[in-house]
Structure 1
Amino acid sequence: MERKRNDEEQAAKYRLHYFRRNDVPALTESELEEESARIYQSLMEGHAIQPVKSSRLWYSGAAAAAVGLIVAGLFYFNEVPVSKPTGVQVVYSNDIAPGKLGATLTLANGKKIDLSAAANGLIAEQEGVSISKTSDGKLVYTIKDSKSTNQEFNTLSTVNGQQYEVILPDGSKIWLNAASTITYPANFAKLNKRKVELNGEAYFEVAKDKSRPFVVRTDRQEVEVLGTHFNVNSYGNEDAIKTTLLEGSVRVSDSKSQKVLLPGQQSLLTDDALSISKADVDEAVAWKNGDFIFKDEAFNTILRQIARWYNVEISDSKDRPDLRLSGTISKSKNLSTVLKALEVTGEIKFKIEGKRVTVLE
């Protein structure tokens, strides 16, 4: 009996340790220790865990992270037996490191530059602009001749397991997520509109220029702004194109209609229609800020995010339309850490074989 009790305590302490973050400025160490102790006591007593209410996002998120991911709508944590720490003690035969900064720049003349291997400093020159790579992994365009009229288009692309930032010649900043591509003019000097084309996901901080609107085109929609912060998720294997506005205003249009977004709103373009709803901004831009944030997220959607960041193939023989999860995990963790967090729900297990991940249950 005593051994069983010790096993339960070790499992609970493992969860508390494994999912605590050490880089959260909004929560003091004493507050985190107090919250962890409360969660640990609830685990030992088999009580449902009710996170402390707080206006700070991370404080409520700390509870979810400390106990792993909660199966939203299906289970409360006290229904996952502490005496059966499902998945926590699984040992993977191999592990996979998280993604990193990296991308390929394709110049107008067709030359390709691997930014992961390129030295810092000047990497290319085009008419009217110079292109440099900074020591912290940014691609920066600098105007040399504002009178240049030659229109050259460059393409920045990432594969699974990569993301990158580019600063365009007008000062606009773009963060490109994994498995994404953006094509843009190398020089905006003589353009009436600053048009870029996106396939995948990117976060934009657009420099204000009332005389030249900034336009983001995907395969099925167009977003037009003057100067604002927003995120566009347009992956081809997702069910919808999501545009989330953080600051300013944007006009989103498709072939049938157009709508104006206000800060804190999100447009959703499906096969049927373009709609607007309240956005969870933190969840929408979590990828850029170094986290996975899932809030009542469909299991299959979570798997696709994980596959893109860790550059793996994930196969699941079962259809799980009712399995939805919530929680926060740092993207800096190895793949096994993320999978163990999902396994804590008791619903699923994983097996890693090379670059292939299989859902076992």
Structure 2
Amino acid sequence: MEHLIIKYINKEISEEELALLKEGLKNPEVKKQLKEYIDLESSIQLGLKKIDMERVYNSLDAPLSSEDNLEKRAARLSYLKYAAAITIIIALAASFQLFINRDINEFTPNATTITLKLEDGSIKEFDETEAIISVDDFVAGSEPKNSNNKTDIAYNEINVPYGKKATIKLSDNSQVILNSGSVFKYPTSFDGSDLRSVTLEGEAYFAVSKNAQKPFIVQTAEMDVEVLGTEFNVSCFKDDKQTLAILVEGSIKAKNTLSNTSVIVKPGQAATLKDKNLTVQPVDIQKYTAWLHGDLLFIDDTFETVLKKLERHFNVVIINNNPALNEVRYNGRFNTETLEQILEAFQVNTTFEYTLKNNQIIIKNETPMK
């Protein structure tokens, strides 16, 4: 729901999305998310007054049933829009050292095209469901290819919306496959640097070319993954509240950037950073790489996790108004099935009802479970 809240604040939300946001606020988790967002802003020492949460809830709810136009609705929250902008800037500065100037709103789950932003600011769009991009094909004209000055390194950024995937071939011949809902920033060349450093928000599978003299680093919000040459999967979606690095072959070192602790990961293991704790445990690799083949594979996954994956895979918004379902666990593999067919399969063992309209699914509240 975060993107709906931000769109409302920024006066970019449609009438349909407003109705969906109102429906979502019935879920205590959504209200909690909004409160956490506002609490973060209140802690910033920039002279901003403390925000009354009751006023925020009322200002979000009242316009949804009024006849006011969008501009008048947004005007009531102009102070919140300013606070949100400050919050986003500070969060990015703390989490992504490589590109503190990136606008968090560039990722829009409802987008229909893959976008590649070049160093010179130009944007390339790809309509394919699975785009294949080589770094050599898209280099800004003013970018110095073989400079020894590290400050001259130019970066491209690719944004993959829900329902899409993309493959990137980097300048060292490493390949990166990006899953739906991912943002990836990479240099057009690794020349002039002692490291091969890239930044990820979302999920990607890496096949890294070996170079013992120049380690490859994947930076996420809270964990860095360092390799020399190997294959591994990294998942760091914001709404998953954890970061995973799953090793297929080779060796990687996962580092908690908050505590500066690190662990070595062996093939068949995953490094997990959750609640600021970094651990290593054996995993079923297939569960974390099935998406590469277009599969949705659920192994003892909670309903809450299932819904997040369905949102990204099918580019839909799902509101669960039956929180009792969140901890129910499911197993299943799907490939060519439609979203409705997948939900019907889950309904065999768990009774729930839902409505589907356009790209919005609302699971009804207080449905008795079998």
TM-score (structure 2 length as normaliser): 0.62
1:225 aligned partner: 227
Describe the SS at the equivalent of 2:327.
coil
1:109 aligned partner: 120
Describe the SS at the equivalent of 1:305.
helix
Equivalent positions of 1:116-135 (< 5 A) are: 116=127
Unpaired segments ≥5 residues, structure 1: 1-98, 118-134
CA displacement at 1:204 relative to structure 2: 0.5
Q: Contact 1:169/1:187 (CA < 8 Å) preserved in 2?
A: yes
1:88 aligned partner: none
Counterpart selection for 2:167 from 156, 165, 168: 165
| d(CA) in 1 for partners of 2:338, 2:331 | 19
- Structure 1 vs Structure 2 CA RMSD: 2.3
Range moving further from structure 2, 136-145 or 316-325: 136-145
Letter in 2 for 1:325: Y
Unpaired segments ≥5 residues, structure 2: 1-109
Equivalent positions of 1:70-109 (< 5 A) are: 103-109=114-120
Equivalent positions of 1:233-312 (< 5 A) are: 233-254=235-256, 255-256=258-259, 257-312=261-316
Q: Contact 1:250/1:260 (CA < 8 Å) preserved in 2?
A: yes
1:134-193 deviation line (CA, Å, top 9, x unaligned)? x97310123999744441100011111211111101001101111110101001122210
Counterpart selection for 2:135 from 123, 127, 141: 141
Higher normalized contact order (CA 8 Å, seq sep 6+, divided by chain length): 1
| d(CA) in 1 for partners of 2:251, 2:195 | 17
Q: Contact 1:100/1:163 (CA < 8 Å) preserved in 2?
A: no
Counterpart selection for 2:328 from 316, 323, 331: 323
Q: Contact 2:130/2:164 (CA < 8 Å) preserved in 1?
A: no
- Report the CA distance shift for 1:100/1:293 in structure 2 as closer, same or farther (over 3 A): farther
Equivalent positions of 1:336-355 (< 5 A) are: 336-355=340-359
| d(CA) in 2 for partners of 1:354, 1:226 | 46
TM-score (structure 1 length as normaliser): 0.64
1:73-93 deviation line (CA, Å, top 9, x unaligned)? xxxxxxxxxxxxxxxxxxxxx
CA displacement at 1:287 relative to structure 2: 1.2
CA displacement at 1:240 relative to structure 2: 1.1
Percent identity, aligned pairs only, is: 28
1:57-116 deviation line (CA, Å, top 9, x unaligned)? xxxxxxxxxxxxxxxxxxxxxxxxxxxxxxxxxxxxxxxxxx999521000011111022
Q: Contact 2:130/2:165 (CA < 8 Å) preserved in 1?
A: no
Describe the SS at the equivalent of 1:258.
strand
Q: Contact 1:101/1:163 (CA < 8 Å) preserved in 2?
A: no
| d(CA) in 2 for partners of 1:101, 1:225 | 33
Q: Contact 2:295/2:334 (CA < 8 Å) preserved in 1?
A: yes
Q: Contact 2:154/2:189 (CA < 8 Å) preserved in 1?
A: yes
2:363 aligned partner: 359
| d(CA) in 2 for partners of 1:113, 1:293 | 32
Q: Which has the larger radius of gyration?
A: 1
| d(CA) in 2 for partners of 1:167, 1:154 | 12
| d(CA) in 1 for partners of 2:222, 2:262 | 12
Describe the SS at the equivalent of 1:337.
helix
Letter in 1 for 2:293: N
Counterpart selection for 1:197 from 196, 199, 203: 199
- Report the CA distance shift for 1:275/1:114 in structure 2 as closer, same or farther (over 3 A): same
| d(CA) in 1 for partners of 2:253, 2:321 | 40
Q: Contact 2:265/2:271 (CA < 8 Å) preserved in 1?
A: yes
Counting matched residue pairs gives 245
1:48 aligned partner: none
Letter in 1 for 2:184: I
1:214 aligned partner: 216
1:188-218 deviation line (CA, Å, top 9, x unaligned)? 1222100001111111011111111000001
| d(CA) in 1 for partners of 2:177, 2:112 | 11
Describe the SS at the equivalent of 2:292.
coil
2:40 aligned partner: none
